[in-house]
Amino acid sequence: MDMRKVAISVFVLTGLFSAVVFAQSTGARPELVVPENTGLENAVINVAGTTGKAVVSISTEHTEKVQGSGQRKLYFNQPGGSPFGGGQNDETFRRFFDDFFGGMPDREFKQVGLGSGVIINPEGYILTNEHVVNNADKITVTLSDGRQFKGEVKGKDARSDLAVIKVSAHNLPVATLGDSDNIKIGQWVVAIGNPFAFALTNPEPTVTSGVISALHRTLGMMLAQDKDYNDLIQTDASINPGNSGGPLTNLKGEVVGINVAIFSTSGGSQGIGFAIPINNAKRIMTRLIEGKKIAYGWMGITVQNLNEDLAGYFGLPNKNGVLVAKMIENSSAQKGGMKERDVIKQFDGKPINSVRELLSAVAATEVGRKVKLLVVRDKKDLTLDIVVGERPESTENLEEATVAGVVETSKWRGLEVEEIGGQNTQGLRMQGAKGVVVIKVEPGSLADSAGIIQGEQILEINKQPITSAADYQKVTQGLKGDALIRTGRGYFIVKG
C-alpha cells in the first residue's frame, strides 16, 4: 500500500482500495428504493441490503519487467568488479559465470491492488478513485453476488482522483446519488466497501457507520501532491485499506461521498477518514463517461488567507477575502489587470472568505468564461473582468530556477539571510536569480512569531523589491514599526 508519513500518516488508500459504484438511472432500470428510516439500526440494515448491492470490489494488476542482463552489467561495472576479487574487466570470470549459471534472465514483478467502486449506471459503469486503477494492466471487478467481470477504464482524472470503469454487464443494481451540499456535521453516515478483500472470501461488502465529523477539510499540498483535496468530508465511520473508491451514504442509502483517505499512525482506521463530496464528483463523472477531457479553471495567481495583522495593514474591517501573493507572468489574472497585494472579496458575484472558496469557485468555472472580480487595492474597491484560463498540466516549474550568486549575510529581527547562490542556497528552487534567502530564524524572535521559516525567499519588504543583499540591508537599516514582508509563500507582518 502506498503511503506517506508525516507526524501522523495520511493514507490515500492506494494498493488496497474499495470502489463503490453509484449510478444515475438512464431509464433502463429504476433506482433502488430504500425504505424510510425506522430507527438507526434498521436504517443501517436497509442501506446494507440496498445500496450495498451496488458496491463492487476492484482488483488490479500491474507488471514491471526488470532486465537481467542490465542488472548483471551494472554489477560487474562497479569498482572492484566481482565479489571474488576479479577486476571490473575480468572477462574470465564473466565467461565462468555465464557458462556455469547461464545468463541472468529477465524478471517480472507483479503488483496487486485492491479497492472498491459503485455502480452508477445499470449498463456497467462504475465510479471509483483514479488512484485505484492508475497504471493497471488488468482490472477485475467482483459484484456483491460473486460474479466477476473484466474492467475497462472509460476515463480518469488524476486531479479530482476520480475514474469511471466499465464492465460488460446489464441490468445491474445502481446506487442513488444524493446531495452533499445539504449534509451536516453530526449527521449519521454509512461507509461501504471491501477492506482487506484479499483476506475475505465473501464478495459482499463491509458496512461501517459513524457521523460526519467535519466538512470542507483540506489536505495540504505535501500530502495531496497533485490531487485536489481541498473540500473533503471528514467522518469517524471506520475506513480501512480497500475502502478507497467506495461510497459514503446517508441513512436513506443516498451516496454523499466517495471514500478516499485516512489519517492513521498504524495504517488502520483510527476514526479520521475522508471522502470526496458526491456533488463534486457528479460533473467529473459525467464528462468521464462521455470521454471528454476534464479542464479546470485557472487565473495564474498564488493566494493566501488573511490574518488579523494583514487585514489591519491593508485597512480591512475583517479577515474575509484572500490576498494575491504572487502573479504568473502573462496569466489571465495579469492580463485582466490584477496586481499583487490585491485582496479578492468577490468572484462572479459570490463572496470569497477563504482560499478554499476561491479555489473551488475558479476550478468549477468554465474555461474561457469572463467573470467579474471585486478586489480591494490601496483601500479602494475595484472591479476587474478576468477571462478564466485553463490550468496547465503541471505548475511545478512555473517561475522557478536554480541560481548562483555571491554570499552575504545579515541579521534583522531574528532573521539571518544569504544572497541567492551562496553556499547555503545552492540547489534551491527559487523564483528568480536575484534576492535573499532566510538561512536561519532565531527562535522566539519577531520573525519567528510572524511565521517566517528557514528557506524562505524574501521578495519584498514594505513593497520595496529585494533583488540583492544590498537591497535587503538598505531597506531594513533603521526600519521602524511593522514591516510587510513578501516571501515565496506569501505575505507576513513582522512586528517592529
**C-alpha cell at position 106:** 529477465
CA distance 440 to 462: 21
Nearest to 244 by CA among 408, 3, 45, 412: 3
Asked if 180 contacts 277 with a C-beta cutoff of 8 angstroms, the reply is yes
Active-site residues, by number, are 131, 161, 244
* Sign of the CA dihedral running 404, 406, 408, 412: negative
Asked if 219 contacts 229 with a C-beta cutoff of 8 angstroms, the reply is yes
223: left (phi over 0), alpha (psi -120 to 50) or beta: alpha
CA distance 189 to 191: 7
Q: What is the dihedral of CA 208, 210, 213, 217, to 10 degrees?
A: 20
CA distance 324 to 313: 14
Dump strand ranges (E) for 250-349.
255-264, 273-277, 297-298, 301-305, 322-327, 343-347
Q: Whats the size of the chain, residue-wise?
A: 496
Radius of gyration of the chain (CA): 28
**C-alpha cell at position 418:** 544569504
CA distance 440 to 428: 15
Which residue has 446517508 as its cell numbers? 250
CA distance 325 to 487: 8
Return all residues near 413 (Cβ < 8 A) that are at least 6 apart: 445, 446, 447, 476, 483, 494, 496
